């Protein structure tokens, strides 16, 4: 969460390297956080940014 808030354009690939988990696991966590309303995507897949809702 801190990484997404600090670097809104961070990729799942970079997160997987930093967290030491697989790319697929990062995608699953992002999906759960999005469904829970904790984060949201602003824009498209390529040029979009993540927002942490408060």
Angle between helices 12-19 and 23-35 (to 10 degrees): 110
Do 40 and 34 touch, CB atoms closer than 8 A?
yes
Q: Which of 46, 41, 11, 3 is nearest to 27 (CA)?
A: 11
* pLDDT tens, residue by residue, 13-54: 999 999 999 999 999 999 999 999 999 999 888 888 888 987
What's the CA dihedral at 4, 10, 14, 15 to 10 degrees? Answer: 20
At residue 1, the pLDDT reads: 66
**7 pLDDT band (50/70/90 cuts)?**
confident
CATH number for the domain whose boundaries are 2-52: 1.10.10
HSE-up (13 A, CA, CB side) for residue 27: 5
Q: What is the domain partition of the chain in residue ranges?
A: 2-52
């Amino acid at each position: 969460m801190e990484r997404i808030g600090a670097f809104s354009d961070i990729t799942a690939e970079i997160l997987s390297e930093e967290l030491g988990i697989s790319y697929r696991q990062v995608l699953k966590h992002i999906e759960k956080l999005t469904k829970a309303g904790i984060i949201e995507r602003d824009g498209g897949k390529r040029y979009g940014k993540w927002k942490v809702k408060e």
